Amino acid sequence: MKKIVKNGIIVTATDTYQADLLIENGKIAAIGHDFPLGGAELIDTRGSYVFPGGIDPHTHLEMPFGGTVSKDDFETGTIAAAFGGTTTVIDFCLTNKGEPMKNAIQTWHAKSKDKAVIDYSFHLMIGEINEDVLEELPVVMEEEGITSFKVFMAYKNVFQADDGTLFRTLLAAKELGGLVMVHAENGDVIDYLVNQALEQGNTDPIYHALTRPPEVEGEATGRAAQLTGLANSQLYVVHVSCAEAVEKIAAARRKGYDVWGETCPQYLVLDQTYLEKPNFEGAKYVWSPPLREKWHQDVLWNALKNGDLQTLGSDQCSFDFNGQKDLGKGDFSKIPNGGPIIEDRVSILFSEGVKKGRISLNQFVDIVSTRNAKLFGLYPQKGTIAVGADADIVIFDPNVERTISAETHHMAADYNPFEGMQVTGEPVSVLSRGEFVIREKQFVGKIGKGQYIKRARYNSSATDATDKVSN
Ligand code: URP
Ligand code: ZN
Ligand code: ZN
């Protein structure tokens, strides 16, 4: 059925203007004024913002990790994402060494199909490079539309790959048109520091942060950036948490290297002192990289503002406090790493960023949606309000206030790391390909309606070359 979205303020990564939208066959058919009703459903936004659905480039739904499986799956995770104004997620498909990658991709399809309520796509983990992998990569790109590859520089003896693997992945990505993503921490040094702490009897959650200091993130980020320059390839650094890593990304970009950086809401508003909470509560705040001293937050905000960092991912990887995080009682290294963030990613950036004057409204749209679409081969099908684009739309009340709480969130995890935080601005209704998923703050979507999206190859000219070099 046709829809007319009326009386909204359209916000894109570049413009803010008053107009109506005509939606037909799941797409934005026209942008203008006074469309004849002609049997269309009228949606009066009453002056709310209307912006492209958020694109979360970093999720781990139902992922086996840390001796357990992340709590939110493609059903609960995508419902929560939709409540928060996200209409596409790109999840990390884990591969196993020695096994065809297509097996791993099938596993991820099986988890997501018939469950997701919004559209989704996959990144592919590269744990090793050999002739089989090099043969399979172009096939995966062609058949599955998976055009981004993740290399872990940390999690020794679990996911960690060596520098040779990273370098060869960068070379392959250059040749094939892929974007290489890195978890940038020096896993070998962390392994040494963790063992040392445990030998000294230091087992509390705070030692998670103390054994992964900013230097190990900065070092790995710089190394990955240098290897990218050497390979003349392209790199996206996930979950940047500290000044040391921002400096390396900014320096690489000044040299003209094709290097991009993502941060996450937790690093923008929470700090290392949360890991010191009593009664093991600090475990709720265990991420890798860890939360940092508070002053790093200003560096991250400035980097988003000046373009040294370009995107915000949730790094959604939720675990219950009771029954999952407590696997690490008495040994911080066994606390499952990650938290429930997917629902609050957009609101936190709006409230803490736009409302507090740290970034502009158009930058906000770029950071939560448009830039991710461009980097990950979804643009202009997604990530913008334009004729021909998917009608993935958020109708957002910029003035409503709410308090974040596990009591009211829609994620499956039994706590919310932002518990009690006041935010201004909230999605009222969310449409995915022209259909309501959230209507007046109620879930009205259909389980399994989300589609798997094949993505285009990395195209550096589509990412705005002018934004690549910051001053
Ligand atoms: O602590 C985190 N970040 N958990 C999810 C896995 C990862 O490293 O991204
Ligand atoms: Zn990571
Ligand atoms: Zn992650």
Q: List the chain residues with pLDDT less than 50.
A: 465-466, 468-471
Output the six-digit token pair for 387: 């004729």
CB 205 within 8 A of CB 284: no
Task: State the Cα angle at 163 between 161 and 167, rounded to 5°.
Answer: 110
Integer Cα distance of 394 and 280 in angstroms: 38
E-state strands within 66-147? 68-69, 86-93, 119-125
Q: Helix, strand or coil for residue 347?
A: helix
CB 253 within 8 A of CB 303: no
- Index of the ligand 1 atom closest to the CA of residue 238: 9
Distance of CA 315 from the midpoint of ligand 1 (Å): 6
The strand pairing partners of 179, in sequence order, are: 148
How far lies 299's CA from each of 42, 153, 417, in Å? 44, 23, 21
Distance of CA 236 from the midpoint of ligand 2 (Å): 12
CB 337 within 8 A of CB 183: no
294 Cβ neighbours under 8 A, 6+ residues apart: 271, 272, 273
How far lies 17's CA from each of 47, 146, 221, 426, in Å? 11, 35, 39, 20
Distance of CA 19 from the midpoint of ligand 3 (Å): 37
- Give the closest residue to 262 by CA, choosing from 236, 299, 228: 236
- What is the model's pLDDT at position 360? 98
- Dihedral sign, Cα of residue 72, residue 77, residue 81, residue 86: positive
Whole-prediction pTM: 0.98
Strands 68-69 and 64-65, sheet pairing: antiparallel
Q: Whose CA is nearest to atom 8 of ligand 1?
A: 288
Distance of CA 217 from the midpoint of ligand 3 (Å): 14
Strands 435-439 and 422-432, sheet pairing: antiparallel
Integer Cα distance of 74 and 37 in angstroms: 36
**Beta-carbon neighbours within 5 Å of ion ligand 3:** 315
Output the six-digit token pair for 54: 């958020």
- Give the closest residue to 450 by CA, choosing from 3, 79, 70, 72: 79
Helix (H) or strand (E) run with residue 193 in it: helix 187-199
- What is the model's pLDDT at position 471? 34
Testing ligand 1's pocket by substitution, the residue of 153, 237, 239, 319 carrying the most ligand atoms inside 8 A of its CB is: 239
Q: Whose CA is nearest to atom 3 of ligand 1?
A: 288
E-state strands within 137-176? 148-152
- Which residues form ligand 1's pocket by a CB distance below 6 Å? 60, 183, 239, 287-288, 315, 317, 337-338
Residue type, 408: T
Distance of CA 183 from the midpoint of ligand 1 (Å): 8
Output the six-digit token pair for 141: 């790109």
The strand pairing partners of 16, in sequence order, are: 11
How far lies 28's CA from each of 36, 154, 456, in Å? 16, 42, 21
Angle (deg, nearest 10), helices 243-254 and 214-231: 20
Whose atoms come closest to the Cα of 63: which ligand? 1
- What is the model's pLDDT at position 469? 43
Q: What are phi and psi of 91, to 5 degrees?
A: -100, 155
Integer Cα distance of 309 and 35 in angstroms: 40
- What is the model's pLDDT at position 459? 87
Integer Cα distance of 164 and 12 in angstroms: 40
- What is the model's pLDDT at position 45? 97
Residue type, 139: V
Distance of CA 33 from the midpoint of ligand 1 (Å): 45
How far lies 396's CA from each of 35, 193, 335, 350, in Å? 22, 45, 36, 10
364 Cβ neighbours under 8 A, 6+ residues apart: 349, 350, 353, 354
62 Cβ neighbours under 8 A, 6+ residues apart: 69, 70, 72, 73, 74, 77, 111
The strand pairing partners of 438, in sequence order, are: 430, 443
Max CA separation in the chain (angstroms): 74
Residue type, 72: D
